[in-house]
Structure 1
Amino acid sequence: MSNIAFKSEFTGDLKQRDISKFSEPMTGTCLCGSISATIHDKGLFGDKPRGHLCHCANCRKASGSFVSSNMAIEKEKVTYEDKNGTLKVYDDWATGSGKCVKRSLCGNCGSPIMSQSEIVPHMYILKMGMFPRIPKPECEGFAEYRHEWQGKHDGLEQYALVRGQKKLGE
């Protein structure tokens, strides 16, 4: 068995770091560092929760997990750089709305970066796993698709399907 000691900058407990260092601006990168995205938003870690969890099949596939941790944010609050030209875009037409969702990822390391939906053309849907801190989510979309073994997140709005529409249990 390998006896490699991982540096805390890669595997350390980010919750122990001063949140003010990640609040304005906050930059995240793909695994290989080719693509970076920076959020310019003073309210990122304010009193209002910002992110959302999506349980739709396409977001789960794009995230490689049982849920996708996202944040929809106005395009003017985000800058991104593709320093090695590795950004790839997949046009996802297999959506419930029938509208295209452009799913961006790093073509080198495979990290998901963001989505752009025709439904909200003025927003980026950032994949929060690339950032050093993740704002508290405000809601869950496609909550009726959650697995029964998943714990419930207290205080989150749960939408049966699309965010902002019918809530779970209504």
Structure 2
Amino acid sequence: MATSTAKFTGDPNSHDTSEFSDGISATCLCGSIRITINDNELFTRKRGHLCHCANCRKVAGSYVSSNLAIEKEKVVVDDPQGVLKRYRDYATASGKCVERCFCGTCGNPLLSIAEIYPTMIIVKMGIFPRIPEPECESFALHRHAWQGKHGDLPQFEIVRGGKQLGE
């Protein structure tokens, strides 16, 4: 059972995945922008990936970023005050632009739009109350030696679907 502090600590265990059978919503820190993912498979199979590239680590402010690449039509961005800001990042492994989107009020990273994936949006999953179990790791060559392995996740040296570590 959830404790009274769950509301304030963001304890993911206080939310049963059945709450998100049709999708999931979350806001940035200040609440100016709401993102909704409309997908009934978020918690019925492994989804998303842990990315270890330098830019995702910077945006996440951590040693890894939890991302979900998903079809654009499944994502709704509600920005009634027009505060969503975009940084056009060309310092990427592909050299193609990745628009890194964040709240202009609180600075919360929210999503990325990668030129190499024109039909997809990459949502930063840390804003949501629950994060689906990831299906893989990308840029695994860029992991820190102290990290250890995340279960039996496939580890791609660089990009998802590319060469795996140890191949």
| TM-score category of the 2 structures, normalised to the smaller one | over 0.9
Local SS of the residue matching 2:135: strand
The answer as to 2:12 corresponding to 1:14 is yes
Say whether residues 1:148 and 2:145 are aligned partners. yes
Once residues 27 and 104 of structure 1 are traced to their aligned partners in structure 2, the CA distance between those partners, rounded to angstroms, is 17
Taking the aligned partners of 1:65 and 1:120, their CA distance within structure 2 comes to 24
Aligned position for 1:82: 79
Q: Distance in 2 between matches of 1:137 and 1:25?
A: 17
Q: Distance in 2 between the 1:168 and 1:41 partners?
A: 30
State the TM-score, normalizing by the size of structure 2: 0.94
Identity score, percent = 61
- Aligned position for 1:71: 68
Cα deviations by residue, 1:100-151 (Å, 9 ceiling, x for unpaired): 0000001111111000111101000000011110000000000011001112
**Which residue identity lines up with residue 69 of structure 2 in the other structure?**
A
Tell me the amino acid that sits aligned with residue 21 of structure 2. S
**Residue 165 in structure 1 maps to residue 162 in structure 2:** yes
**Structure 2 match to 1:62:** 59
Q: Which runs of 5+ in 1 are unaligned?
A: 1-5
Q: TM-score scaled by structure 1?
A: 0.92
- The yes-or-no answer on 1:105 pairing with 2:102 is yes
Query: Alignment partner for residue 131 of structure 2, among 131, 134, 140?
Result: 134
CA distance 1:104–1:41, change in 2 (3 Å): same
One-letter amino acid of the counterpart of residue 125, structure 2? M
Amino acid at match of 1:143: A
Q: Structure 1: how far apart are the matches of 2:107 and 2:119?
A: 25
**CA displacement at 1:12 relative to structure 2:** 4.5
2:50 paired with 1:53: yes
The one of 91, 107, 111 equivalent to 1:94 is 91
Please provide the CA RMSD for this pair: 1.3
Alpha-carbon deviations, 1:4-55, whole Å to 9, x = none? xx85312142213221112322101111111111011111100x20010000
* Distance in 1 of aligned mates of 2:21 and 2:13: 13
Cα distance between partner residues in 2 of 1:73 and 1:56? 19
Query: Which AA in structure 1 matches 2:63?
Result: F
Q: What is the deviation of 1:168? A: 0.9
> How far apart in 2 are the matches of 1:124 and 1:114?
7
Q: Is the 8 A contact 1:52 1:71 kept in 2?
A: yes
